[in-house]
Amino acid sequence: MPLAAFDTTHCDVDLEPSPIEPSWIIEGNPEARSRVLSTSGCKTAWTLIWSCTEGRFNWHYEFDETIMILEGSIVLEGDGMPPKRYGVGDVVFFRNGTRATWCVDGYVKKIAFCRLTNAPGLGYAIRALNKLRSVIRRNSPALVPALGCFNLLGQVEFD
């Protein structure tokens, strides 16, 4: 079944328990909760709402994640980074492989945009194929319906 062109939801949804790995907890008893809001057709990208109560813990990123703080604040520190406070409206990007220490003061709620990363060689191949499709579209407009308007990553392309 084809995916809808767009879906809608609201950030004020009921969140389900999403426990932090116990060995990552440094202080306190942080209780995390989350809910996936959307997932890409290829299952390599998703958006979620996540909240956590007071505590200090490590986090290990196994994919790229961009967050925006919706409520509360956190103090983050990482390899070679001094502690820094982030609050409502702040946006932070974590690359795949990043290790960070989170300190939640009271409560935090974030929206997270997550994306699995491709192996470097695969990424180059996908970009080359998308470029080829773009060139074919520009030079052979009759082929446009056969190519569709989406590239290999499921992103809309605009010429």
pLDDT for res 91: 98
The Cα diameter of the chain in Å comes to: 63
pTM of the model: 0.71
pLDDT computed for residue 9 by the predictor:
59
* Residue entry with tokens 């409560």: 107
The enclosing H or E element of 87 equals strand 81-87
Other C-beta atoms closer than 10 Å to the C-beta of 143 total 11
CB 30 within 8 A of CB 104: yes
CATH fourth-level superfamily of 16-115? Jelly Rolls (2.60.120.10)
Distance CA 66, CA 93 (A): 4
* pLDDT tens across the length of the chain (159 residues): 555 555 555 566 789 999 999 999 999 999 999 999 998 888 889 999 999 999 999 999 999 999 999 999 999 999 888 999 999 999 999 999 999 999 999 999 999 999 998 666 665 666 677 677 777 777 776 665 555 444 444 444 433
Q: How many residues does the chain have?
A: 159
d(CA 71, CA 110): 7
How would you classify residue 78: left for phi > 0, otherwise alpha for psi between -120 and 50, otherwise beta?
A: beta
Q: Would strands 91-94 and 81-87 be described as parallel, antiparallel, or unpaired?
A: unpaired
Query: What local confidence, expressed as pLDDT, does residue 159 receive?
Result: 38
Domain residue limits, the chain: 16-115, 119-159
